[in-house]
């Protein structure tokens, strides 16, 4: 593999990792603070993408579509919290899994009924279209660089919120012991609403940013949700720092692994066998990474009490 192609794949891995962080950050807060398993988080990512397509069709302006999609994603998260999630806080994890799976079906089939089964696309804003030269022979799409920049800005803003604000202090305390902060006078119900709303908005933002790159379709959140759970397990439940570092690790391992696995396999196998073995090995690398991390640190790299 040439140096140019390696650089492209590394940037693609960084972009994937930051998208995963936007999804996993809200998911790890919900799981860490409330001990709530929300399988519908991937569907909220999908919903964010569809909302952006819908609002762009009515406004013709990407910025307006982004703002309206984020507000709608926040509203959807708060509505789901009020109508569904709130009734499941004290229920067993199996009940949460079954209920959130039902919400997945409702959101997925609702999107299919409203927008049809065919993939849709969201045009990139004109100012962020095209490509820029990064090195000799390497022109990289401006929108993918915008995704990287937006992901880094969101990570910084989320860290400042968690580390420097009163709400962040309550979130960190809730990740350690939600019952205790309730006993100390914190409005736990309000905290739960804030965490769910923030998580839904981050997932929707990830969907909007991915929409100009990926096909917008009802099942687009399924694979991303699995990777987001891998990120949470590797980084440590409830840890924003852990989610950030683990998301970058997963994004780079997944992208570079798919690019390099066949070339590496050819060092040991015949070309025909390497062509078969390479993609098979590449699809397992993220889970091998997760197993290795759990073997060394069963609580993840940065569990909430340390994160």
Question: CA nearest 192: which of 181, 206, 203?
Answer: 181
Provide the pLDDT for residue 273: 80
Provide the pLDDT for residue 176: 63
d(CA 18, CA 24): 10
The domain segmentation of the chain, as residue ranges, is 3-296
d(CA 42, CA 20): 11
What letter does residue 216 receive in the DSSP assignment? B
Taking 70 as the pLDDT cut, the residues of the chain under it are: 1, 172, 174-179, 184, 304-307
Provide the pLDDT for residue 307: 42
Provide the pLDDT for residue 259: 82
Question: CA nearest 20: which of 259, 226, 293, 302?
Answer: 226
Provide the pLDDT for residue 178: 64
Query: Could you tell me the CA-to-CA distances from 135 to 8, 127, 293 in Å, in that order?
Result: 10, 21, 35
Q: Could you tell me where the DSSP H helices lie in the chain?
A: 3-34, 41-59, 62-83, 93-115, 142-164, 166-183, 188-210, 221-235, 240-265, 271-282, 285-296
For the 3-296 domain, the top CATH level (class) is: mainly alpha
Provide the pLDDT for residue 126: 85
Residue labelled with tokens 């924003």:
240
166-183 and 3-34 helices, crossing angle to 10°: 30
Contact 273, 265 (CB under 8 A): yes
Residue labelled with tokens 């409005």:
187
Contact 286, 227 (CB under 8 A): yes
Q: The tokens of 217 are what?
A: 């379709």
DSSP for 71-104 reads: HHHHHHHHHHHHHTGGGGTTS-HHHHHHHHHHHH
Contact 43, 52 (CB under 8 A): no
Q: Which pairing describes strands 131-135 and 138-141: parallel, antiparallel, or unpaired? A: antiparallel
Provide the pLDDT for residue 85: 87
- The dihedrals phi and psi of 141, each to the nearest 5 degrees, come to -60, 135
- Can you give the pTM of this predicted structure? 0.88
């Amino acid at each position: 593999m040439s140096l140019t192609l390696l650089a492209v794949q590394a940037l693609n891995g960084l972009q994937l990792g930051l998208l995963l962080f936007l999804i996993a950050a809200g998911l790890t807060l919900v799981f860490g603070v409330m001990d709530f398993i929300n399988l519908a988080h991937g569907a909220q990512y999908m919903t964010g993408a569809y909302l952006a397509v819908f609002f762009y069709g009515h406004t013709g302006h990407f910025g307006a579509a982004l703002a309206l999609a984020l507000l709608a994603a926040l509203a959807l998260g708060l509505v789901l919290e009020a109508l569904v999630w709130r009734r499941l806080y004290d229920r067993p994890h199996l009940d949460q899994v079954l209920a959130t799976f039902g919400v997945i079906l409702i959101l997925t089939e609702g999107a299919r009924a409203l927008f049809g089964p065919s993939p849709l696309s969201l045009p990139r804003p004109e100012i962020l279209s095209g490509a820029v030269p990064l090195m000799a022979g390497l022109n990289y799409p401006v929108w993918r660089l915008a995704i990287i920049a937006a992901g880094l800005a969101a990570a910084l803003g989320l860290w400042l919120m968690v580390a420097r604000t009163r709400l962040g202090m309550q979130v960190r305390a809730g990740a350690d012991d939600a019952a205790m902060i309730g006993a100390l006078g914190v409005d736990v119900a309000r905290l739960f609403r804030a965490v769910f709303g923030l998580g839904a908005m981050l997932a929707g933002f990830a969907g909007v940013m991915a929409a100009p790159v990926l096909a917008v379709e009802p099942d687009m959140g399924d694979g991303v949700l699995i990777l987001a759970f891998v990120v949470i397990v590797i980084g440590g439940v409830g840890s924003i720092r852990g989610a950030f570092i683990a998301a970058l690790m997963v994004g780079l391992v997944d992208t570079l692994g798919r690019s390099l696995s066949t070339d590496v396999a050819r060092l040991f196998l015949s070309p025909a066998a390497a062509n078969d073995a390479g993609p098979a090995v590449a699809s397992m690398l993220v889970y091998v990474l997760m197993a290795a991390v759990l073997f060394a640190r069963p609580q993840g790299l940065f569990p909430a009490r340390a994160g």
